[in-house]
Amino acid sequence: MPRYALLIEYHGAPFAGWQRQADQPSVQGAIEAALARLEPGPHTIAAAGRTDAGVHGRGQVAHCDLQKDWAPFRLSEALNHHLRPAPVAIRACAQVGQDWHARFSAIERRYLYRVLVRRAPATLEAGQVWQVKNALDADAMQQAANHLIGLHDFTTFRSTMCQAKSPVKTMDEIRVEQLESPAGTELRFHLRARSFLHNQVRSIVGTLERVGTGAWTPMDLKRALDACDRAACGPVCPPDGLYLMGVGYPDDPFA
């Protein structure tokens, strides 16, 4: 039974998240339904990570096992045909070994969070960014973010519903990038780690926004981290601006 790795892109707005749900649309459910059009089901695919409702995917990775020995290009083309009109696309497909797993073989995940700063309502970017109206201090947010780099107990920055066994994670990178364009000022938060806790990225960015406005200082954020208390967290930002950008593996199956 051959196994295939899938590189997946999706717009999260119409979905209740990645994970299949009985009574709501999901990205996993859409792909499994497309697979059932190719081979009799049911099918169960495994992903590198579960994104929440409204979160987007640029580089989600999943794997599936099929009966037929498909040429990877033909499989991706067939799946994209049956995924229409859902905003989900298979960007690439590769055959992998039976011991390869989209989640457990991964060695890093990369997320992007986009914040658009402008007074006028977002139109073209609606549903794809978090819009704030007042200027943010990117340098202060970077200073605060530096306190989160490395191995820490991230209890403050994880959902109370998080099912991870431990709140201790190693954050490899948080980089704040400011871009100027005719559409407005955009702040991009690049986060990289082996794995993330539930709501960790949105909790971190929401708290960094408080630093950006001047309501918090960078040291306030460090004190919140050291408190190891969810009540010390700043506001959790909305899902619209969050993207799973990529998943790293020792050997990239799509190279």
* pLDDT per position as a tens digit, 60-75: 999 999 999 999 999 9
pLDDT at 121: 93
pLDDT at 80: 98
Q: Does 151 fall in a domain?
A: yes
Candidates 23, 52, 99, 229; catalytic one: 52
Domain shared by 96 and 122, yes or no: no
Q: Which domain holds residue 156?
A: 108-246
Residue 220 annotated to the active site: no
Q: Angle between the 218-227 and 138-146 helix axes, to the nearest 10 degrees?
A: 30
Domain shared by 74 and 121, yes or no: no
Q: Which of 70, 105, 140 is the last residue of a domain?
A: 105
The structural domain count of the chain equals 2
E strands in 37-193: 46-47, 56-65, 88-96, 108-117, 130-132, 150-153, 168-181, 184-193
Domain shared by 120 and 234, yes or no: yes
pLDDT at 22: 86
pLDDT at 181: 86
Domain shared by 154 and 215, yes or no: yes
Cβ–Cβ contacts within 10 Å for residue 204, how many? 30
Q: Does 154 fall in a domain?
A: yes
**In the structure encoding, which two tokens stand for residue 241, read together?**
């601006």
pLDDT at 81: 98
The three-state secondary structure class of 132 is: strand
Q: Cα separation of 157 and 142, whole Å?
A: 17
Q: Does 254 fall in a domain?
A: no
Q: Which of 67, 89, 105 is the last residue of a domain?
A: 105
Q: Does residue 87 have a cis bond before it (omega within 30 degrees)?
A: no
Q: Does 84 fall in a domain?
A: yes
CATH number at residue 158: 3.30.70.660
Query: Residue 245's closest CA among 155, 114, 144?
Result: 114
Q: Cα separation of 213 and 216, whole Å?
A: 8
pLDDT at 183: 84
Domain shared by 178 and 217, yes or no: yes
pLDDT at 1: 87
For tokens 């169960």, the residue is: 44
**Could you give the count of Cα atoms lying within 13 Å of 28 in the half-sphere of its Cβ?**
23
Burial classification of residue 202, based on how many CB atoms lie within 10 Å of its CB (0-12 exposed, 13-18 middle, 19 or more buried): buried
Domain shared by 129 and 219, yes or no: yes
CB 137 within 8 A of CB 187: no
Tens digit of pLDDT per residue, the chain (255 long)?
A: 899 999 999 999 999 999 998 899 999 999 999 999 999 978 999 999 999 999 999 999 999 999 999 999 999 999 999 999 999 999 999 999 999 999 999 999 999 999 999 999 999 999 999 999 999 999 999 999 999 999 999 999 999 999 899 999 999 999 999 999 888 999 999 999 999 999 999 999 999 999 999 999 999 999 999 999 999 999 999 999 999 999 999 999 999
Q: Does 253 fall in a domain?
A: no
Q: Which of 64, 86, 105 is the last residue of a domain?
A: 105
Domain shared by 40 and 161, yes or no: no
Q: Cα separation of 57 and 11, whole Å?
A: 7
Q: Does 25 fall in a domain?
A: yes
Domain shared by 49 and 17, yes or no: yes
Q: Does 255 fall in a domain?
A: no
Distances (CA, A) of 211 to 28, 192, 215, 221: 36, 20, 6, 8
Q: Cα separation of 243 and 255, whole Å?
A: 21
**In the structure encoding, which two tokens stand for residue 125, read together?**
């970017």
Q: Does 252 fall in a domain?
A: no
